[in-house]
């Protein structure tokens, strides 16, 4: 760890990243089209668009009902998207 003029400076890889804390509420229709299952997921991401793209890519049957930002968080370990 190196020291800067007024604070400690961490190597870039050791610094926490700032991300949005996003809650997604969605529904998944049953295969026969009858009952929908509701689900709630929480993500730390750089943008709402990133969460939408992730869900559309990984869970194609989910219909997004609500998406909201709860605040900012510091992410200590992240995927390549937060680097």
More confidently predicted of 6 and 20: 20
- Residue 7 belongs to a domain: no
Q: Is 2's pLDDT higher than 80?
A: no
pTM of the model: 0.66
Contacts of 3 (CB under 8 A, 6+ apart): 9
Report the distance separating Cα 67 and Cα 15, nearest Å: 28
Residue 4 covered by a domain = no
Q: State the pLDDT confidence band at 37, using cuts at 50, 70 and 90.
A: confident
Task: Confirm whether 5 is domain-assigned.
Answer: no
**Total number of domains constituting the chain:** 1
C-beta neighbour count of 24 within 10 angstroms? 20
Q: Is residue 10 part of a domain?
A: no
Domain holding 49, by residue range, is 16-75
Please report which confidence band the pLDDT of residue 44 belongs to, taking 50, 70 and 90 as the band edges. Answer: very high
């Amino acid at each position: 760890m190196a020291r800067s003029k007024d604070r400690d400076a961490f190597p870039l890889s050791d610094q926490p990243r700032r991300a949005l804390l996003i809650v997604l509420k969605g529904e998944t229709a049953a295969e026969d089209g009858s009952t929908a299952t509701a689900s709630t997921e929480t993500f730390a991401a750089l943008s709402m668009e990133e969460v939408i793209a992730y869900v559309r890519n990984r869970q194609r049957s989910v219909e997004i009902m609500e998406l909201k930002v709860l605040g900012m968080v510091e992410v200590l370990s992240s995927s390549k998207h937060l680097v």
